[in-house]
Amino acid sequence: MSRSRLEAFSDGVIAVAITLLVLDIHVPAPDTGSLGHELARQWPQYAAYVVSFVTIGIIWVNHHWMISRLAQTDRTILLLNLLLLLCIGLLPFGTSLMAEYLRADQGQSLAAAIYAGLLLLMSIAFATLNRHILFHKAHLLSEPIPEARRRQILFRGVVGLVPYVLATALAPVSADITLIICASVAIFYTLPIASGGADPA
């Protein structure tokens, strides 16, 4: 099975999910008070939009790399990819939840934990698919990758889980810290240092 429709479908789901994020930014009703005040009050929505947009964007870049190594796909790859898309598809909900509750009187910790937990889940799904491709489906790769390089790619994917584990675990302490960690991860992956050579995955 060729990889082109896998890419097309994944691109579609990721593009829709990333664009739906904007629906979480509400236009204040004209009669609720000064527009400036109302827009300022909902800053968590802008912060969450940017963090989620960049995070999904980076996942897309990495997905691009991961799949481009394949000459072909098979059923298991399609299903693991579906699992990854299922997690990405939940992010507009997680983002909205985080943005709505970051300044609420209750529920901040739970909302932050769910948000970071969804990012963690997405990263685990990504690492699982990557591991499956690199170690179980090496015969489908378009060109062989040395064992050491494969271990290195996987290792970096697993290291990438650590900040999300932290962000989830620290949510009961402070929802702000959780958001700051998630934002830092997004910023980190946009820095040149994160690419660590030719392959950023």
Kindly state whether residue 136 participates in binding its own copies, applying the rule CB under 8 A.
no
H helix or E strand, kind and range, residue 119: helix 108-131
Amino acid in the structure at residue 15: A
Kindly state whether residue 35 participates in binding its own copies, applying the rule CB under 8 A.
yes
Q: Rounded to the nearest whole angstrom, what is the least distance from the CB of residue 185 to its own copies in the complex? A: 15
CA distance 39 to 16: 25
H helix or E strand, kind and range, residue 117: helix 108-131
Window contacting its own copies (CB under 8 A); options: 5-13, 121-129, 141-149, 158-166: 5-13
Kindly state whether residue 119 participates in binding its own copies, applying the rule CB under 8 A.
no
Kindly state whether residue 30 participates in binding its own copies, applying the rule CB under 8 A.
yes
Kindly state whether residue 9 participates in binding its own copies, applying the rule CB under 8 A.
yes
Cα Rg of the chain, angstroms: 18
CA distance 73 to 107: 42
Which residue of 48, 85, 167, 171 would you call a contact of its own copies, by CB under 8 A?
85
Kindly state whether residue 143 participates in binding its own copies, applying the rule CB under 8 A.
no
Residues 197, 187, 114: CA angle, nearest 5 degrees: 120
When the beta carbons of 15 and 173 are compared against its own copies, the nearer one is 15
Q: Rounded to the nearest whole angstrom, what is the least distance from the CB of residue 167 to its own copies in the complex? A: 18
CA distance 65 to 152: 15
Which residue of 71, 79, 138, 173 would you call a contact of its own copies, by CB under 8 A?
79
CA distance 68 to 61: 11
Which residue of 97, 116, 121, 185 would you call a contact of its own copies, by CB under 8 A?
97
The closest alpha carbon to 93, from 23, 171, 175, belongs to 23
When the beta carbons of 85 and 170 are compared against its own copies, the nearer one is 85
Task: Give residues in contact with its own copies (CB under 8 A).
Answer: 1-2, 5, 7-9, 11-23, 25, 27, 30, 34-36, 39, 49-50, 53-54, 57-58, 60-61, 64-65, 68, 75-76, 78-79, 82, 85-86, 89-90, 92-93, 96-97, 100-101, 104-107, 110-111, 114, 190, 192, 195, 200
